[in-house]
Amino acid sequence: MGNKIQLSVVIPVYNTEDYLQRCVDSVLENKSVGMEIILVDDGSTDSSPSICDSYSSRFPFVKTVHIKNSGPASAKNRGIEIAQGEYIALTDSDDEVKPDMFVKMLETAKRHNADIVGCNYEERMPDGTIHQFSYSGKTIVLDRQGALEQFLMKGKIYTQCWTKIYRRDMIVAHNIRNIEGLKTDEDFIFNIHCLVHASTTCVIDLPLYTYSMLPSSLSKAYFSKRIDSYIDNRLLNFDITRRLVLTYTPENSPHAVFNRLYYSNELLGRIALFPEKYSDLRTKSVVGYMRRHILTILRHHRKIGFSLAGSLMLLLPAKWYLRYRHSKI
């Protein structure tokens, strides 16, 4: 393909000096890919900016952009705006990619003329152990409706952007960007916008990405600082998903309902940690939606994450139900 840039790897960076080198080095291991790496330093206050500059000085295809701290969505958008590759990857700066991840994804994209290619992943736990999910080793090829079903029904298309590459022309043509200011759910919302416009999506069911599970992401303290934005972002997610599915693939509407019930259950699990939110009107609206779809929950209670008894407890007043959820934590 000559000097054509096949892939732009956008890496938003914020205070990840302990992990950044490992991340960038893992991307560099994909040696046979014609790529550029775009490091977007989001106003880091540790040594991350100098680490980024060091890579740019050593590798002509590594670009570093320094911006005022604005959050990961803004950093990703800045990288997307300057990307020149045929495809774009969005990689977190505290994670790693396998040496053949982008090679395999680009080969699959070319073979099937895919707009999106995804993969499976593994998790590195805080103690360093690796947890892998089940995988088949197969490549799945999906049309728009099938891809949305996989995504909304918690199949093999995951919510995270870092498990995928996206055709840049598709992103540019439909002006797809991350919603700036969001602290959570930005990946889900970006992906649902991409999937409704992707004619073909492929999934390589192999763990080609290593996600680092940091201790802070597991703690109640992490959510205590973010619970209000977490609720607001999740409700925005629900609304955007409903509107996009109705507009582009109304056949996926039952899958969108399932997805909302799944993530409503997860949301209520978080809210249960904070009794001051039990009477919140947003909380009541989530419980009310789930009650209206109680028959769907009863049919799919295991996949949504309920026991049969827990499903029926939704019929209690919202405050009592959340006290019940809290007692199970």
Q: What is the pLDDT of residue 218?
A: 46
Distances (CA, A) of 254 to 141, 148, 312, 314: 22, 11, 21, 20
CA nearest to 189, candidates 69, 42, 73, 41: 73
List, for residues 130-153, the tens digit of each pLDDT value: 999 999 999 999 999 999 999 999
Q: Are residues 223 and 119 in the same domain?
A: no
Tokens of 17: 């000096």
Residue 248, in any domain of the structure: yes
Q: Are residues 146 and 228 in the same domain?
A: no
Residue 2, in any domain of the structure: no
- Domain of 34, in residue numbers: 7-217
Q: Are residues 241 and 204 in the same domain?
A: no
* Number of independent structural domains in the chain: 2
- Which positions of the chain have pLDDT values less than 50? 1-2, 218
Residues, the chain: 329
Residue 1, in any domain of the structure: no
List, for residues 297-311, the tens digit of each pLDDT value: 999 999 999 999 999
Q: How far apart are CA 201 and CA 140, in angstroms?
A: 8
Q: What is the pLDDT of residue 281?
A: 96
Place of tokens 């046979």: 32
Q: Indicate the residue among 167, 184, 217 that finishes a domain.
A: 217
Kindly state the percentage of the chain with pLDDT values over 90.
Answer: 90
Question: Which residues face 166 on adjacent strands?
Answer: 88, 116
If you ran DSSP here, which 8-state letter would residue 181 be given?
Answer: T
Q: Encode burial over 237-257: b for 16+ CB neighbours within 10 A, e otherwise.
A: bbebbeebbeebbeebeebbb
Strand 35-42 to 200-212 pairing: unpaired
Q: What is the pLDDT of residue 142?
A: 98
Strand 35-42 to 7-13 pairing: parallel
Q: Indicate the residue among 193, 217, 241 that finishes a domain.
A: 217
Q: How far apart are CA 295 and CA 283, in angstroms?
A: 20
Q: Indicate the residue among 168, 202, 217 that finishes a domain.
A: 217
Q: Are residues 118 and 238 in the same domain?
A: no
Q: What is the pLDDT of residue 41?
A: 98
